[in-house]
Amino acid sequence: MRKIIINGPCEVSGEVDIQGAKNSILPILAATIIARNECVIKNCPNILDVHTSLEILNYLGCKTKFEGSTIIVDSSQISKNEIPEKLMRKMRSSIIFLGSLIARTGRAKLTFPGGCELGPRPIDLHISALKQLGISIDNIHGNLECKIENKIIGTDIVLPFPSVGATENIILASSICSGTTTIENAAREPEIVDLTRFLNKIGAKIHGAGSSKIVIEGTHKFNSSEHYIIPDRIVAITLMAAAASTGGNLTLKNIKTDLISSAIPIFEESGCLIKTYEKNIEILSPETLYSVKEVRTMPYPGFPTDAQAIIMAMLSKAIGTSVFVETIFESRFKHTEELIKLGAKIKINGNVAIIEGNKYLSGAKLQAYDLRGAAALIIAGLAAYGKTTISGADYFLRGYDLSIFPNILTINE
Ligand code: UD1
C-alpha cells in the first residue's frame, strides 16, 4: 500500500471547496440502476470508493463516464445480476447494490461486503428487512442468493436500530413494488435525504426522509435525471480539525452549518471561533487548543462516529483531558495506538477513550487501519513537529479527494 508523508508542522489555512459526500454518491450510484435511463450526477468526489462503484456498474452492464466532477450512468441495459466477491470486498457500501439490483432484475447474487474493520459489521438488519418485503435470501457458503419470491409487496418495517445501510437498502428495494412501505426508526442522515431526493427525481415516491419515519409508495415508472451531491460533512469536519490543530484559519465554501451542527459546539469548546455565513463556514483557531468534556457518538443528528477519530486527533494537541464514548461501532479506537506514537496520552476502557493532550506532538512512523483513522493520523501528523510517514494511504484515498490538501501531503508508492 502507498504511504503518506508529511513534514510538519503544516498550517492548514485559506479557502477550500468541500467535495461531494461519499455517503451520498455511493448509494446514489447504486440507485442509478433503478432509473433504466441516463442519469447525470454532479459534484462527485474523485475517491477510490466511487471508482469501485463504477467498476460494479460497468460489470453489471451499465455504461459510465466520469469527467471532471460529473458522472454519467446509462443503466438502460443490464446484463448481469451478480457481483463478484473481489468487488464486494472492496467496500462496505457494495451491499447497497443488493436493494437496487433486486428491485431492477428480481434476482441478485453477491457476497458479504468488505470495508473498514471497525469491529463486527453484520448485515442482519438488511436481510431481515428485505425478507419482510418478500425477498428470499439464502446464504450458500458465503454467497447471498436473493430473489423476489412472488413480487415485492409494500409492508411496515420497524428497524431495531437506525442503520444507515439497512434504511437505504429498504428504500431502494421498495421503490419498485406494489403498495406502500413504511420504515419506522429509519436512519435520519442527510445522505439518506439526498438519496431520496435523487430517487424522487427519477420517479420514486418517497416521503419523510430526514425523520425517523419514511414512507415509500411503490411505483414502476422511472426516468432520467440530473442531481447535485450534497457536501461531505465528514470532510468538512476533517478540514476544520486540521485547521484547528495547526493554528490555521480556514474558510469552507458551499457548506451550511446545519450539516455539521453537532460538531460546532466541540470546536467552540476547544477555543475555536466559528463564523457562519449564508453558504460558507469560517474557522479561526486559537493560540492554544483546550480539551472538551465529552464527545459521545450517536446516530444522526448526534455527533457522527465517522468524526470521532478526527476530533480525537485534534484534541491530542489540546491542553487538558477529553473523554470519547463510541456508541456506534465496537472497535473504532485503532488510531489511538498510532496517536500515542506521536506523543498523545490515551487510555482505553471498553468503548471509552480518555485523552490527555500534548501541545508538542512529534513526527513518527504510523500505520492507518481504516478510512477515518487515516484522516485522524494525517491531522495529527500535520500538527506534529518533524516527519510523519503513514502506511495505508489507500484507506484515506477511499474517502478523500487528494486535492483538498494541496501541496501538503505527498503520496509515495
Ligand atoms: C454508514 C456509513 C458509515 C458510518 C455509519 C454509521 C455509508 C456508506 N457508510 O455505514 O460511514 O460510519 O453509517 O453512521 O453511508 N449494524 C448491525 N446490523 C446491520 C447493520 C448495522 O448490527 O444489519 C450495526 C453495525 O455493525 C454498526 C451500527 O449498526 O455497529 C451502524 O451501522 P450502519 O448504520 O448500518 O452503518 P453503515 O451503513 O455500514
Please check the confidence at residue 346 and state whether its pLDDT lies above 70.
yes
Residues 305-319, mean pLDDT to the nearest whole number: 97
Marked catalytic residue, from 39, 44, 116, 177: 116
53-57, 93-97, 122-126, 403-407, range with the lowest pLDDT: 403-407
Residues 339-360, mean pLDDT to the nearest whole number: 95
Q: Is there a single domain that holds both residue 161 and residue 273? A: no
Q: Is there a single domain that holds both residue 256 and residue 394? A: yes
The closest residue, in CA terms, to atom 8 on ligand 1 is: 23
The closest residue, in CA terms, to atom 11 on ligand 1 is: 306
Domain of residue 71, CATH code: 3.65.10.10
Q: Is there a single domain that holds both residue 142 and residue 273? A: no
Residues with CB under 6 A from ligand 1: 23, 26, 92-93, 121-126, 161, 163-166, 187, 191, 305-306, 328-329
Last residue of a domain, one of 228, 246, 264: 228
Q: Is there a single domain that holds both residue 263 and residue 335? A: yes
Q: How confident is the model at residue 274 (pLDDT cuts 50, 70, 90)?
A: very high
Residues 349-374, mean pLDDT to the nearest whole number: 96
Q: Is there a single domain that holds both residue 212 and residue 254? A: no
Instruction: Give the pLDDT of residue 333.
Output: 93
Q: Cβ distance 149 to 115 under 8 Å?
A: no
**Cα→Cα distances 36→49, 174, 274, Å:** 23, 16, 44
Out of 96, 164, 192, mutate this one to test ligand 1's pocket (max ligand atoms within 8 Å of CB): namely 164
Q: Is there a single domain that holds both residue 153 and residue 275? A: no
Q: Is there a single domain that holds both residue 208 and residue 324? A: no
Out of 132, 163, 169, 296, mutate this one to test ligand 1's pocket (max ligand atoms within 8 Å of CB): namely 163
Q: Is there a single domain that holds both residue 149 and residue 292? A: no
**Domain interval for residue 242:** 3-19+231-412
Active-site annotation holds for 272: no
Q: Is there a single domain that holds both residue 222 and residue 249? A: no
Q: Is there a single domain that holds both residue 280 and residue 392? A: yes
Q: Is there a single domain that holds both residue 300 and residue 235? A: yes
What percent of the chain has a predicted confidence (pLDDT) above 90?
A: 89
Last residue of a domain, one of 196, 228, 260: 228
Last residue of a domain, one of 182, 201, 228: 228
Instruction: Give the pLDDT of residue 72.
Output: 98
SS3 of the chain: the string is CCEEEEEECCCCCEEEECCECHHHHHHHHHHHHHHCCEEEEECCCCCHHHHHHHHHHHHHCCEEEEECCEEEEECCCCCCCECCHHHHCCCHHHHHHHHHHHHHHCEEEEECCCCCCCCCCCCHHHHHHHHHCCEEEEEECCEEEEEECCCCECCEEECCCCCHHHHHHHHHHHHCCECEEEEECCCCCHHHHHHHHHHHHCCCEEECECECEEEEECCCCCCCEEEECCECHHHHHHHHHHHHHCCCEEEEECCCHHHHCCCHHHHHHCCCEEEECCCCEEEECCCCCECCCEEEECCCCCECHHHHHHHHHHHCCCECEEEEECCCCCCCCCHHHHHHHHCCEEEEECCEEEEECCCCCECCEEECCCHHHHHHHHHHHHHCEEEEEEECHHHHHCCCCHHHCCCCCEEEC
The closest residue, in CA terms, to atom 25 on ligand 1 is: 121
Atom of ligand 1 nearest to the CA of 92: 39
Mean pLDDT of the chain: 94
The closest residue, in CA terms, to atom 36 on ligand 1 is: 164
Q: Cβ distance 97 to 109 under 8 Å?
A: no
Domains: count for the chain: 2
Residues 27-46, mean pLDDT to the nearest whole number: 97
Q: Is there a single domain that holds both residue 378 and residue 246? A: yes
